[in-house]
Chain A
Amino acid sequence: MTNHERIAVVVIILFGLAVFLVGTDGFQAFTTEQARTNQLIKEQPQVPNVVLEDSKSRTYSMEELQQNKYLFITFMYTNCATVCPQLERNMQEVYQQLPVSMIKNDIQFLSISFDTEHDDPETLEKYRSYFDSDGETWRMARINEQQALDKLLDQLGVIVIPDDYGNFQHNTAFYLVDRDGYLIDVMDYTEIDQAVERIKSVIGGDSA
C-alpha cells in the first residue's frame, strides 16, 4: 500500500464508523424497535388521558382508573393467534408474581385492545377469563374514539399495521407508567422476572 492509500484507508474507516454511529445511535439500536424504545425511555412522554370502555362496559378516563397508582399496560387484540396470547400469559405471570398488597394498592394492570370494532365488552370479558384477570386490578378495555386511540398508540410508539386477513401486525412490550401518568419504562415482554424486579424496585423506592 502506498502512503496515499494508508490515508484513504484511515479516512474510509472513520467515515464508515461515523455512518454506523449515526445509523445505530452509537451502536445502541440496530432495529427501529430498539431505537423507538430507547427514545421513549429517554423522553418519558405523558400518557394521554383517553377514555376507556372495559369488559364490564364501564367507561372512565385513564386518570380516573389510575388513581395515583402505577400502570402496567399491554396492547393486544383478542383475535390475535400469535404473539398476543403469549404477551397476556406473560402479563399474567408478572401479575401473579407481584405481592398481593402491591396489586391492591400500588399498581393497576391494563390490557388495551386496538381492535375497537371487534373487541366489544363481551368479547373482552371472555378473553379476560382465559388469563384469570379479575376485571378489577387487571382490566381489559378498548378505546372507542379512534382519534384518542391513535394518539395513545402514537405517543407510546405502538405501530399497528392491519393485514389483509383481519389481523394486525404490531410491536409488543410491557409499558410501565408512573403515578403521575408518565411513561417510565418499556420492557421486553419475554423477560418476566426482569419486569417483576423492575416494578418491585420502582414501587419499593416510592414507599421507602
Chain B
Amino acid sequence: MKQAKYGLLLFIFLILPPVANLLESIMIFHMHTQMPLFVFAGFLMTPFYHKKFPSFFMKWNHSGIPGILLVILIWSYWQIPRAMDDALAHSYVEIFKFISLPFLVGIPLRDSWRKIRNHGQFIFLIYLFATLIVTGFLYIWVDEQICNNYLIIEQQTLGWGSLAMAACLLLYLVYRQFENDEEV
C-alpha cells in the first residue's frame, strides 16, 4: 500500500498548478518528463486498485489485451502534436491529460504487463520504439513549427530527446532478446 500512497502523492504533486506550468513551459519536459511521470503515478497506484477491485481486472482484462490496447490508443493520442498544444490552450484537455495518463495508461499498462507475456511485451516495446522514432524524426526534420506554443529550437531538442530514448530502448530490446535466448 506504500506504493499507492507514493503514487497518489506524485499525482497530486504533478497537478499542482506551479509544477504543471513549469513542466509544460519547456517542451521536452512536457513530453518526456511530465507525461511519463503521470503514467508512473498510475503505475504506483495500481496495487491499490487491484486490492480494491480484484474481480474487475480479472473479468475485463483477463488476457491483458484490452488493457494494452487502451494504453496504445491513449498514448498514441498524446503523440499528436496538436494534443500538446490543446492541453495548454484548453483546460478540459489538460484535465483529460491529468486523468488519462495515470488511469488509462499507467494502471492498465501495469495490470496488463505480466498478462501479455513475453511476446506481447515485445510487441508493445516495438510500438513504443516506433512512436519515439516517428515523433523524433518529425520534430527534427520538419522545419515548420508543429506546435504553436513552442519555439522550433525546442521542437528540435524534443526530437533529439526522442531519438536518444529510442536508442536506449533499442539497446534494451536487444538485451532482452539475448536474455530470453539464454533462458531457453
Residues of A at under 8 Å CB distance from B?
A: 1-2, 4-5, 7-9, 12-13, 15-16, 19-20, 23-24, 29-36, 83, 159, 161, 163, 169, 171-172
**A31 close to B81 (CB less than 8 A):** yes
Q: How many residues of B contact A (CB 8 A)?
A: 29
With A and B bound together, what is the CA distance between A23 and B92 in angstroms?
A: 11
Q: Are A9 and B65 in contact (CB under 8 A)?
A: yes
Chain B interface SS verdict (over half)? helix
> Is B70 interfacial (CB 8 A cutoff)?
yes
The chain B residue sitting closest to A25, CB to CB, is: B82
Q: Which residues of A contact B59 (CB under 8 A)?
A: 2, 4
Given A23-B86, A29-B82: A5 and B66 interface contact (C-beta under 8 Å): yes
Name the residue of chain B whose CB is nearest to the CB of A2: B62
In the complex with contacts A5-B60, A30-B82, A169-B145, A163-B70 CB distance below 8 A: no
Q: What is the CB-to-nearest-CB distance from A191 to chain B, in angstroms, rounded to a whole number?
A: 13
Does A20 lie within 8 Å of B77, measured CB to CB? Answer: yes
| Whole-angstrom CA separation of A5 from B93 in the bound complex | 28
B148 and A16: CB pair below 8 A?
no
Verify B82–A24 contact, CB threshold 8 A.
yes
Residues on A with beta carbons closer than 8 Å to the beta carbon of B69: 9, 12-13, 16
Contact between A30 and B73, CB atoms less than 8 A apart: no
Contact A33 B145, CB 8 Å, known A16-B70, A16-B73? yes
Q: Does B168 sit within 8 A of A, measured CB to CB?
A: no
- From the candidates A4, A15, A20, A171, name the one contacting B148 in the complex (CB within 8 A): A171
Is A23's CB under 8 angstroms from B80's CB?
Answer: yes
> A-B pairs with the 5 shortest C-beta distances?
A16-B73, A8-B66, A32-B85, A32-B148, A8-B60
Given A5-B60, A8-B61, A20-B77 in contact, is the A32-B82 Cβ separation under 8 Å? yes
B1 within 8 A of A: no
Q: Which residues of B contact A12 (CB under 8 A)?
A: 66, 69-70, 73
Shortest C-beta distance, A1 to chain B (Å), equals 5
Contacts of A161 in B (CB 8 A): 151
A192 nearest CB across to chain B (Å): 16
Minimal Cβ-Cβ distance residue in A for B81: A31
Asked if B146 lies at the interface with its beta carbon under 8 angstroms from chain A, I say yes
* A13–B148 CB distance below 8 A: no
